[in-house]
A and B are shown apart, each in its own frame.
Chain A
Amino acid sequence: MATRYFGKSIRRNEDPRLLTGRALFVDDVQLPGMLHVAFLRSDFAHGRLRSVDFEDALELPGVVAIYDADSLGDYWQPGPLLVPPPPVQDIVFRARTQVPLARGKVRHQGEPILGVVAESRYVAEDALDLIVVDVEPLTAVASLEGALADDAPLIHEDLDSNLAAHVIQRKGDFEEAAARADLVIERNFLYDRGASATIENRGVVAHWDDRAQHLTLWDTTQAPIPIRNGLAAMLGLSESQVRVIAPFIGGGFGPKIMMFYPEEVLVPWIAMRLDRPVKWIEDRQENFYATTQERGQVHESALAVDREGRILGVKDVFVHDNGAYNPYGLTVPINTQCTLLGPYRVPNYHSEFRSVFTNKTIVTPVRGAGRQHGVFVMERLLDLAARQLGIDRAEIRRRNLLTPDEFPHDHQIIFQDFAPLTYDSGNYEPCLDKALEMIGYRDFLENEQPRLRAEGKHVGIGVVCYVEGTGIGPYEGARVTVEPGGTVSLATGVGTQGQGHFTVFAQIAAEQLGVPVEKVRVVTGDTGVFHWGTGTFASRGAVVAGNACNAAVLEVRRKILKLASKLLEASEEDLELADGTVRVRGVPASAIPLGKLAQEANPLRGAVQPGTEPGLEATAYFGPSSGSTANGVHAMIVEVDPETLLVEIQRYVVVHDCGKVINPLILEGQIEGGVAQGIGNAFYEQLVYDEQAQLLNASFMDYLLPTSTDVPRIESGHLETPSPLNPLGVKGAGEAGAIPVGALFAQAVEDALSGGLEIREIPLSPNRLFQLVSEAEEPE
């Protein structure tokens, strides 16, 4: 029996390089004669740009050039609309995309106005201090409610309001369902999110080789291939003249899929214009203003249930903040709209949202990408209904879960990939049971909690369910080559930001080719090596690129068997691939090392059959018809100090089903990282803006990320319901950890405080909890 690699907790191929500091990151790129860029960014969130004076700055020794919007000539263009609106009836969508450098107006704090190029970053920043910018401040749109007010200042003055989109999706008839419901819960919810706060900020290095007429760009992007194609078009180059390398990247989480950032447009242009290599590395302060974020939504929601707690219908009307521009279309609010339905049977649904422009940094997907907002609303509504009906919180969920015979399940609304929101497969109740069992739900409620309460301890439990739409198209590709030395090379277009691609893709190859995982050399995110594909987003790497790898590997396997069959004079069915060789089953002496076979497949002399392709190599593509839907249940136990309102997470359980698991160790890491980010979202992280949309906490001193001491040990369990939509049966897992944490946190804390307190917002903090508890204690 050949060694199995798929499904094993194999240590990561990339870790030795990462742990010993030998991995290449963008800032490691040092080129002779390299120049550095610093940007002058708007201090105001909204203002009219009157004039700039940079003459003194140009005089500073070491300053090479300074560019404003006018110096770009025709190169100055608003960025592309990355995601057009989905085909929903009567949709209103008004695109206004970001510009390379502000012209006429500034629309959010940190919007770049000028780029200073100098011999060092120090000199470039010194020059910023010498520039005089005259901006007439305008009243800023800082709140969701304020954006659509009659007297709201117009952010884009060619529009008649700050409305960016209005979308209604309906299924059944909510009003009719509400009329016959035993209970209708109506509440408002606020869900606010923070920055993605990757450990590595963004960065771009550009090198124009004038003799070769070739541009190389190192970029912290999640989408190197679209960046290459877009840049080539903008710069008037052919795609083959541009190579984009997304080397090791310290976290992506979504904002690095956004394109084009102004810096990505400007740095290569400057490098070509000055014929010198140019580097820009975002500093942490810039990151808070200049890198896209997720932020708030305000929901007005209603849940109609019968007296057994069965969902009859949901109505949800919300406002979404898309920031000053909306290049990412409607992905985030559509995710909210779709993911709200969760693992539940919802016969009637009315969902309506308005997306609005505000004078804040652009909103694009951040891990979860709006899904948590929807999950929060649905889970909170179920908690409130359970409380009012006297039904156990786990039980009300169980009663509404879709059952295995209801798959594939068509929710009759449109998802972010423009396909109908259809769940491919799922088996939800066992997930819930397993989570309840792991956390000891019954025992906690019946014994533990009463006992601890008697001791004066405020402990609470929570349990929430969610789904995650993952692995959407359009497609990815991979090329697999058996090298003459016996190693296997695998190239794919998706970039990597820590997910473990170098290992899981290698496992897929190793499984079919019978070579050890460490013998598979994976290259990702280098358009010089592979240039077809879209990028790393929407929990799609394993699903889409993974299945492309599998298809290419199977083709190489076919070639191996065909050639070996000829050489060994044995039928293909009698051959096996193991230990880096192909051999007749049961005849170890017949083994031909794959490297030798690769040499045979690429002869220097002699004749080959017509139609024969040289080498043991294949390229294949995979595009799913629609996304695959993963699901999970999270449960937690918290203790709240009633005096200080500090919250301690005592236990955290995740039960998750993402279909076939390629590497349980890596999956665990994904889930734990997501939960950590979710905990940050629920209790620590908040972008605090004042009424003029000035960000007040643009540093890690005041923007609080959860640290290792704030994240509990996470106990996880897995179920495997394979996806029928791809040969490997896998579903995505990248965002699963982060999605339900806010809803869970609110429920558990509410339970711990066990008063009349109702938590309808995230993020919380001890300060906010103190306020909520004080309000709840006040007599009406």
Chain B
Amino acid sequence: MKPPPFEYHAPDTLEEVLELLAEHGEEGALLAGGQSLVPAMNFRLAQPTVLIDLNRVAELDYLEEEPDGALRVGAMTRQTTAERSETVRMRAPLLHQTMPYIAHPQIRNRGTIGGSLAHADPSAELPTVMAALDARFRLQSAGGERWVEVADFYEGMFATSREAEELLREVRIPPLEPAMGWDFQEVARRHGDYALVGVAAVVQLDSERRCTRARLTYLSVGDGVVEGLQAAESLLGTECGEQQRREAARLAALADVEPLEDMHASAAYKRRLVEVLTSRALTGAVQTARRRVD
């Protein structure tokens, strides 16, 4: 469990990072918190020949609130920082609620928001939550920058549309709408494990308490973020009562997800968990939304 030899760079500025990326492209791997990459290297599953360490690049570590209430999160923001941030708690409460589910405190002390998002692990919480929040990702290279939607960023298991010379620099989470409710639920074998199933739910109600927007996103039931499209749609225009929430949960389990069996959970068990957790998450989200309407 020792990695093969690699070349190591520890730049101090974003500019240097982008230069190194331009130079090394495909051979280069970006080291953020190292909580996935380093074990993968020790197992020799990942064998990058050049490692570009981002840990000295202070300008990538920030949490900023925009005038409209949107939140900008620098890629090298430690997960613990986000977890403890008052700004995150106020502006992105779903993200705040989800943070403790990510592994363990020691891992969150090192792990970064950008690192987890760019790693594209289908059982990671952050991509699912960013999808539910309609976040956008800012990708930058020596040649310029571009913004992509979550759906356009992820291309499958451990695969994204980030080009080899690009850096995921920042995430922008849009402002929290009034009458919006949210919840996150997951089941893991032990606290901090990769979830057997996890779900983020966001609902928005009008003044009549009718659902104008619903979003359900899942982790660990596919090769990336899985959307509960039919379930969400079934709620639109309804009051999201218990019956409707249960129907939606059933729809999610039967129609929206196609979970694959793994050693910890059969497909049938995963479907069961999708149904149970969807129902619980919708209940939580609707309660919050109603409270905010009133």
Do A and B truly interact? yes
Task: Name which residue of chain A comes closest to B4, CB basis.
Answer: A126
CB of A71 within 8 Å of the partner chain: no
Q: Is the CB of B266 within 8 A of A770?
A: yes
B276 within 8 A of A: yes
The distance in angstroms between the C-alpha atoms of A774 and B266, with both chains bound, is 12
A765 within 8 A of B: yes
Chain B residue at minimum C-beta to C-beta distance from A120 = B2
Q: Do B187 and A644 touch (CB < 8 A)? A: yes
Chain A residues 700-715 with CB under 8 Å of chain B are 701-702, 704, 706-707, 709-710
Interface residues of B in 77-123 (CB under 8 A from A): none
Known: A704-B189, A709-B191, A770-B272. A121 touches B263 (CB 8 A): no
Interface residues on A, range: 20 to 34
In residues 105-160 of chain A, which contact B (Cβ within 8 Å)?
Answer: 121-122, 125-126, 129
Q: Looking across the interface, which residue of chain B has its beta carbon closest to that of A686?
A: B263
Contact across chains for B2 and A121 when beta carbons are under 8 A apart: yes
Contact of B269 with A770 in the complex, beta carbons under 8 Å: yes
Given the known interface contacts A285-B1, A707-B190, A710-B190, the answer about A774 and B268 at a Cβ–Cβ threshold of 8 Å is yes
CB 8 Å contact bits of A278-294 with B (1 = contact, 0 = none): 00000111000000000
Task: Tell me whether B1 and A767 are in contact (CB under 8 A).
Answer: no
Expressed in whole angstroms, the minimum distance between the Cβ of A491 and any Cβ of chain B is 37
With a cutoff of 8 Å between Cβ atoms, the chain A residues found around residue B276 in the complex are 643-644
How far apart are the CA atoms of A170 and B88 in the complex, in Å? 70
| Complex interface: chain A residues within 8 A of B192 (CB) | 707
Give every chain A residue within 8 A of B189 (Cβ-Cβ): 684, 704, 765-766
- Shortest B119–chain A CB gap in Å is 14
A residues less than 8 Å from B196 (CB atoms): 766-767
Whole-angstrom distance from the CB of B106 to the nearest CB of chain A?
A: 12
Question: How far apart are the CA atoms of A701 and B3 in the complex, in Å?
Answer: 18
Least CB separation from B191: chain A residue: A709
- Smallest distance from the beta carbon of B104 to chain A beta carbons, Å? 9
CB distance from A377 to the nearest CB of B (A): 26
Residue A697 at the chain B interface, CB threshold 8 Å:
yes
With A129-B4, A767-B269, A771-B269 as contacts: A684 and B264 at CB distance below 8 Å: no
Return B288 CB to nearest CB of chain A, in Å.
Answer: 21
Contact of A709 among B1, B190, B266 (CB under 8 A): B190
Docked CA distance A187–B189 (Å): 29
List the B side residues contacting A643 at CB < 8 Å: 272, 276
In the bound complex, residues from chain A placing their C-beta under 8 Å from that of B1 are 125, 283-285
In Å, the complex CA distance between A253 and B192 comes to 26
Nearest-neighbour CB distance to chain A for B214, whole angstroms, equals 22
**Residue A688 lies at the interface, judged by CB distance under 8 Å to chain B:** yes
Nearest to B42 among chain A residues (CB) is A283
Can you list, as one digit per residue, whether each of B1-16 has a CB less than 8 Å from chain A (1) or not (0)?
1111100000000000
Interface presence of A696 (CB below 8 A): yes
Report the minimal beta-carbon distance from A573 to chain B, rounded to whole angstroms. Answer: 61
Name the A residues within 8 Å of B3 (CB-CB).
122
Q: In whole angstroms, what is the CA distance A704 to B196 when docked?
A: 13
A702 touching B263 by the CB < 8 A rule? Answer: yes
Closest to B1 in A: A283
Q: Which residues of B contact A284 (CB under 8 A)?
A: 1
Q: Does B27 contact A (CB under 8 A)?
A: no
- Residues 224-283 of B contacting A (Cβ, < 8 Å): 263-266, 268-269, 272-273, 276
Closest to B194 in A: A701
- Asked if A122 contacts B2 (CB within 8 A), the reply is yes
Residues in A with CB closer than 8 Å to B263 are 688, 696-697, 702
A567 at the interface (CB under 8 A from B): no
Which residues of A lie under 8 Å from residue B266 when comparing CB positions?
Answer: 767, 770-771
Residues of B near A665 (CB, < 8 A) are none
CA distance A125 to B42 in the complex (A): 10
- Bound CA span A688–B262, Å: 11
**Closest residue of chain B to A121, judged by CB?**
B2
Residue pair B264, A767 in contact (C-beta under 8 Å): yes
Within 8 Å by CB of A702, from B2, B43, B264, B269, lies B264
State whether the Cβ of A23 lies closer than 8 Å to any Cβ in chain B.
Answer: no
Q: Which residues does chain B contribute within 8 Å of A18, judged by CB atoms?
A: none
Q: Once the chains are docked, how many angstroms separate the CA of A645 from the CA of B2?
A: 39
Q: What distance in Å separates the Cβ of A579 from its nearest Cβ neighbour in chain B?
A: 47
- List B contacts of A765 (CB < 8 A): 189, 264
Closest-by-CB residue of A relative to B197 is A644
Q: Say yes or no: is B193 at the interface (Cβ < 8 Å to chain A).
A: yes
Chain B, residue nearest A696 (CB)? B263
Q: Closest residue to B104 on the A side, CB-wise?
A: A707
Q: How far is the CB of B150 from chain A (nearest CB, A)?
A: 26
Measured in the bound complex, the distance between the Cα atoms of B263 and A500 in whole Å is 38
Does A24 have its Cβ within 8 Å of any Cβ on chain B?
no
Q: Within 8 Å of chain B (Cβ to Cβ): is A88?
A: no
The chain A residue with its CB closest to the CB of B266 is: A767
Q: Which of A748-779 contact B (CB under 8 A)?
A: 765-767, 770-771, 774
A83 located at the interface, meaning its Cβ lies under 8 Å from any Cβ of chain B in the complex: no
- Measured CB to CB, the nearest residue on chain B to A701 is B194
A92 at the interface (CB under 8 A from B): no
Docked Cα-Cα span, A645 to B196, in Å, equals: 12
A82 at interface, CB cutoff 8 A: no
How would residues 58 to 83 of chain B score, 1 for a CB under 8 Å from any chain A CB and 0 otherwise? Answer: 00000000000000000000000000
Closest Cβ–Cβ distance, residue B76 to chain A (whole Å): 25
- Chain A residues, CB < 8 A from B191: 707, 709-710
> What residue in chain A is nearest B272 (Cβ atoms)?
A770
Nearest CB in chain A: distance from B2 CB, A = 5
Question: For A125, what are the chain B residues with a Cβ–Cβ distance below 8 Å?
Answer: 1-2, 4, 44
CA distance A710 to B190 in the complex (A): 7
Taken residue by residue from 301 to 326, chain A's Cβ proximity to chain B (1 for < 8 Å, 0 otherwise) reads as 00000000000000000000000000
Please name the 5 residue pairs, one residue from A and one from B, whose CB atoms are nearest each other, closest first.
A283-B1, A643-B276, A770-B269, A122-B2, A125-B2
15 interchain pairs, CB-CB under 8 A: A122-B5, A125-B4, A284-B1, A285-B1, A644-B272, A646-B187, A688-B263, A702-B263, A707-B191, A765-B189, A765-B264, A766-B187, A766-B265, A770-B268, A771-B268
